[in-house]
Amino acid sequence: MSSVHDWAAPNPVTTNRSGLIGKPVDRYEGPLKVTGTAPYAYEVQPPSPPAYGVMVGATIAAGRIADVDIAAAEASPGVLAVWTHRNVPSQPPRGAKAHPRSTAGSSPALENDRVSYFGQPVAFVVADTLENAVAASMLVNLTYEADAPDVDFAASLDAAGQPPGEQDVEIGNFEDGFAASGVKLDETWTTPIQNHCQMEPCASIAWWEGDVCVAHTSIQMVKPAQHGLAETLGIDRDAVHLMTRYIGGGFGGKGQTYDDLTLAALAARALKQPVKVAFTRQQMMHGTIHRPATVQRVRLGADKDGRLNAFSLMTWTHCHRSGSFTEHASNFARALYAAPNRLTGHRLVRLDLPHAGPMRAPGEASGTLSLECAMDELAEQLGLDPVDLRIRNEPPVDPENGRPFSQRQLVRCLREGAQLFGWERRTAKPGQVRDGRWLVGMGMAAAIRGNFLLPAKCSFSVDAEGVITVRQGMTDIGTGTYTVLAQIAAETLGVPLGKVVVEIGDSELPPAPGSGGQFGAATAGSAALAAGMNLRKALAELATGDPRSPLYGDDPELVTFQDGVIAIENKSETLAALVARAAPEGLTVEGDSRPAADMREWSTQTYGGHFCEVGVDPVTGEVRVRRMLGVFAAGRILNAKTAKSQLTGGMIWGIASALHEGNAVDPRHGSLLAQDLAQYLVTVQADVGELDAIMLDEVDDKANPMGIKGVGELGNSGAGAAVANAIYNACGVRVRDYPITPDKLLAGLIAKGL
């Protein structure tokens, strides 16, 4: 791909002749989804009638399986197989790689008699119907030798150590700088476990075509799933054809495979028929990853004019006993505010809990809940407006590494957000504004999320009808990937959207990293642009080299593409006519993208400002979000509708993090207390008042060829802190233990005599 300095050269996307890029185009796959005809993994129709698998979860959090009795289950009607660790087909050891370049190793199911978390799959039943499989699963009798589970995060903080390979990051001398500061803040916040709760549970169907395993599964990254399944099955990677074409939400929880895929493939091979396996909603809570709880200590030291002199955010978090995943809730803070003396780092506790892992805006979603409230508290101590305090500490370059910012419009986000929201009407002193029985307050917070670009490939084809087909091993987890790829293709080749076909979510297509980390649109889109430009070049050369074309003999650099027509000045022909005549079998080209060599010379982030107004009932402790606004700067926006949906969805998740969402651990059993959507509370429509997201104009030409960044996680960064700050402004009560539920708020209100 061209170097970063060539990206600014005019191309169909930068000139945007058709005006498709950025428009609020309806979803490419929308009609299929709203009519119920988009086949999600569990709904894919196999070549022959499937059997149904049901997993059985452990009822202890630590120990071993001492005895197994599956006789009754095996004798149950319709049962085809009952497996435990004693009779499951052989699988390579965990992490083993027969192919050293596999992006994932073996992940054996039912691998031994050890139990390391509550709900761990320990048995598997396959039957002719789902009902028979469920009935038989209840007859599996396992006897355990249980150990006392170590699941108390708060009690284990003293045992925490630094995550593997990590060191604290200190610049200057934090302790001396903090001691010398005229105004200080030293407070601790806690955030709970959160579960992903995607609408579609993790599910898989698999069958075999000769020696090839065909599998449909719900996962965000195609290649690691293909490679990992091949390693687990002990077959060549090319002998696994894995597809994930429609996904009902991911949020990071489908960034890896689970036992549903492994067991479906193993059972299909053993039984010689297709097998479907899906997690129940209850199994999802323990059997898939979750966002871990955190304890965060924030220390801020400032001069009396509000300039930060010392800045520290230290995070304690937890993971599974055998894991190392760390909720990096301190990392984002390293690029947010200026201060000469800085200290950030993480501590990790390993517990007998299910595996922790990434969840929408991992790090930022948790970390901003402390830092952005701490900045609000510091502003009050200083007698400054919270917006003004943040602007006073705006760094000219990245405060940690000194790199220039590729684009940084945080101050603009804050100023324009304040103006649009009516921030000037905020009363600084808490508890001064009433609306009937409600105490009303406003709060704000800054948002930041890093920007990433990963290697990817994409192919474009054109046929004799002038139809452009985009093929890429990318995924769409509901974020709009299908749509933005169609927009890029239509813009690049100058054809109507109706002339574009998008094929993604297939391991046999050109590889892309998948959806996650807010890198999806930029990575997939950059590769698509490269493929489109290559196809333009091929078509221009085809036309100017064809004696039968009106463009014959002209300079291919002068060829334009618009409305399905290729032209040079007043000479033209349709794209379909050219291909049908000169390349009747069609043309296919490939493009790729990768981070530019000088990308590390820049600090590249996305930014935003959240503003919120809440009402607090001083009698019940109820909080209602009355209105909320986010203003964001996130590079070139590919689709105004899908981008806004992502941002507002993240903001709503922030409301949930502030007010509702969290899961507690039962210390007796090591299980999560909330095990379905009736118990696990999330924000619903009635909880959200007026809500809007505004995207500033921005094209970050240092980020990638199209100047794209990401929005999927930015909206969730800082949103919860804005709600918490509004609650304080309404009633004068600070709750630093999330979520801010009525009981916690009432305790503070009673203590204040309200």
Q: Annotated catalytic sites, by residue?
A: 713
Instruction: Let me know how many helices (H) and strands (E) the chain has, helices first.
Output: 17, 31
Distance CA 140, CA 82 (A): 8
Any idea which residue has 């407070």 for tokens? 187
Q: Which residues contact 238 (CB under 8 A, 6 or more apart)?
A: none
Distance CA 604, CA 68 (A): 55
Tell me the pairing of strands 294-302 and 308-320: antiparallel
Any idea which residue has 């987890």 for tokens? 477
Distance CA 193, CA 350 (A): 14
- Please provide the distance, in angstroms rounded to a whole number, between the alpha carbons at the two ends of the chain: 64
Give the E-state strand segments of 575-664 in sequence order. Answer: 587-593, 605-616, 623-633
Which candidate, 612, 631, 581, places its Cα nearest to that of 726? 612
Read off φ and ψ for residue 377, nearest 5 degrees: -65, -40
Residue 327 zone, left/alpha/beta (φ > 0; ψ -120 to 50; rest): beta
Chain-centroid distance of CA 107 in Å reads: 23
Which candidate, 265, 225, 217, 226, places its Cα nearest to that of 245? 217
Q: Taking the C-alpha atoms of 207, 209, 210 and 213 in order, what is their torsion angle to the nearest 10 degrees?
A: -50
Any idea which residue has 């894919």 for tokens? 44
* SS3 readout for 133-161: HHHHHCCCEEEEEECCCCCCCHHHHHHCE
